[in-house]
Structure 1
Amino acid sequence: MKPRSLMFTLYGEYIQNYGGEIWIGSLIRMMSHFGISESSIRGAVLRMVQQDLLTARKIGNRSYYQLTSQGKRRIKDGVTRVYSLFNKKWDGYWRIFTYSIPETKRELRNQIRKELAWTGFGLISHSTWASPNPVEKQVMEMVKNYQLEDYTILFRANSIVSHDDMAIIHKGWDLQEISRKYDEFIRRYEEKFEELKERAWNQSLTDEEAFVERTILVHEYRKFLFLDPGFPVDLLPENWSGFKARKLFFHVHQLLSVSAIRCFETIFEPAPDCQYVPERDKAINPFIGMV
């Protein structure tokens, strides 16, 4: 696991439900369970502060970190997509995003591409991206954040004259490859689910192991956010592997959740002046309230 990616998982899965701020010592203890060194963690934290994803404050000789508004936006988008259900119907509109970023801002191009892929867009031609999802708000927040108003255009259209809908999908996404990745996830976690159920039943699964397994599960499933655009159900194949993978993800997640949260609570240490009410039920079952 890369330190930055793991930190996003920890903040989205646990820390945001406990006030959103954590002592660096607690973060180091958590991440040590995944073989990441203290120096790597501190380096990643520093880079995330420099990238305006984390903000720090000192109390005595201790440093506490919480997400910035930009970091919170990334976490919110990711958590919503991970835990929402496959039950939305297509509204019939394509969102088409085009950009022409000048050479003076060329360093932004790769970042914009990553942001668009994360949001579920597919590249259908040079500098032209499409999505069937209602992502107008997220896109306009991105444009505002990077001050790209003069270089971008976002369209919404209910028909494309030159191609039918499936042709656009095949231009922008490789559904066969995405399905293959889901099948790999299913093969891995079907076997692991049976093993974890047996260990939970005979009470040999420790809280620490549950914390590690749940975190790895979410970390692995989060990778699909960069692959799967989260199409409405009526644009997906009937036997889409993502449906089965999601159901399996839910069952493994819930099997581990209570024990994993117990372990997290023994490690987590907020700032002494932090006043918060832990959202423990939400931490145990993030699927609550998702649609």
Structure 2
Amino acid sequence: MKPQSMLFTIYGEYVRHYGSEIWIGSLTKLMGEFELSEPAVRAAISRMLRQGWLVSRKVGNRSFYSLSERGKKHLEEAGERIYKVESDKWDGKWCIVSYNIPEERRSLRDQLRKELGYMGFGMLTTSTWISPNHLEDRVKDLTEAYEITEHVEIFSAEHKGWSESKQLVQKCWNIDEINEKYKGFIDTYQKDYEKLAEMVRQNQEVADSLCFVEKTNLVHQYRKFLFIDPDLPQELLPELWLGKEADELFQNYYQLLNPGAIRFFETVYEAAPSK
């Protein structure tokens, strides 16, 4: 388990709902539930500070870490996708991004590709990416932040040929591979969910610390689909699509675990002094 990735999960699931700031002592105790050492946690926090995800402040001899504006926005966008609601009928429009970034700015070009993939874009050609979702504003914000607007063009258009829409999807995304990963998620968590649901029905005691670990791991694993699932509308999905089944399992298991997980977090979390 990578400490930085788990920190994103802890901040996204808990800390951002409690003022977005947490004492380092509370944070290391929470991370210790996953057998992550204090030096590993501190090293990950230092990286996140350098990368602009966190900001720090000292109160006496105590260090508190909060999400930066960039970090808040990133986790809000992730939360919207993880806990998504049913989308409207697809309007048939594609968001298209085309770029021609000079070789001397290759690092920015590579970063742009990563960001587009994270948003759910698929690569049609080396420098042309498409998505059936309305992501124009997010791409504008991204390219302005990277100061590459002169090298990027953004379109909203209809596809007129020659592939069928579902054939276009197969060209740009490995749907079979994504489906297989959803199957793995279901195979991993279905029995755990059924076991816990039975314990709840029988009024058996479930430790809050266990709920915290299980729920956080559940979200941590499900969050990985943000990097591979383009969140396609129903009209573009194959007949056998396990994403919906995986989402239902995630939501049901999450609801069972959440109350105990929150109780445990609140016993560890220490409110930051007023600024």
**TM-score greater than 0.5 by the shorter chain:** yes
In structure 1, distance between residues paired with 2:39 and 2:182:
34
How is 1:32-111 mapped onto 2 (pairs within 5 angstroms)?
Answer: 32-111=32-111
Contact 2:89 2:233 in 1 (8 A): yes
In structure 1, distance between residues paired with 2:148 and 2:73:
18
Give unpaired runs (5+ residues) of structure 1.
275-291
TM-score (norm 1): 0.90
Deviates more, 1:160-169 or 1:46-55: 160-169
Deviates more, 1:197-206 or 1:84-93: 197-206
How is 1:219-234 mapped onto 2 (pairs within 5 angstroms)?
Answer: 219-234=220-235
Secondary structure of 2:97's partner?
strand
TM-score (norm 2): 0.95
1:143 is aligned to 143
Q: CA RMSD in A?
A: 1.4
In structure 2, distance between residues paired with 1:86 and 1:27:
34
Secondary structure of 1:191's partner?
helix
How is 1:197-276 mapped onto 2 (pairs within 5 angstroms)?
Answer: 197-200=197-200, 201-273=202-274
Deviates more, 1:200-209 or 1:251-260: 200-209
Secondary structure of 2:220's partner?
helix
1:134 is aligned to 134
Contact 1:210 1:259 in 2 (8 A): yes
Contact 1:24 1:64 in 2 (8 A): yes
Contact 1:3 1:41 in 2 (8 A): yes
Contact 1:26 1:268 in 2 (8 A): yes
Residue 103 of structure 1 deviates from its aligned partner by 2.4
Secondary structure of 1:7's partner?
helix
Q: 1:199-242 deviations in whole A, cap 9, x for unaligned? A: 33443320000000000000111111111110111211234211
In structure 1, distance between residues paired with 2:270 and 2:137:
34
Residue 182 of structure 2 is aligned to residue 186 of structure 1: no
Cα 1:160/1:205, change in 2 over 3 Å: same
Q: 1:251-274 deviations in whole A, cap 9, x for unaligned? A: 100001111100010111121116
Residue 88 of structure 1 deviates from its aligned partner by 2.9
> What amino acid sits opposite 1:271 in the alignment?
A
In structure 2, distance between residues paired with 1:140 and 1:101:
15
Give unpaired runs (5+ residues) of structure 2.
none
1:8 is aligned to 8
Contact 2:166 2:237 in 1 (8 A): no
In structure 2, distance between residues paired with 1:40 and 1:111:
26
Cα 1:59/1:179, change in 2 over 3 Å: same
Contact 1:98 1:127 in 2 (8 A): yes
In structure 1, distance between residues paired with 2:88 and 2:243:
14
Q: 1:91-110 deviations in whole A, cap 9, x for unaligned? A: 21111111122222211222
Residue 34 of structure 2 is aligned to residue 23 of structure 1: no
Secondary structure of 1:106's partner?
helix
In structure 1, distance between residues paired with 2:160 and 2:2:
40
Contact 2:101 2:151 in 1 (8 A): yes
Residue 159 of structure 2 is aligned to residue 195 of structure 1: no
Contact 2:94 2:158 in 1 (8 A): yes
Contact 2:121 2:131 in 1 (8 A): yes
The higher-RCO structure (CA 8 Å, 6+ apart) is 1
Contact 1:124 1:130 in 2 (8 A): yes
Residue 198 of structure 1 deviates from its aligned partner by 3.0
In structure 1, distance between residues paired with 2:216 and 2:74:
18
Secondary structure of 1:189's partner?
helix
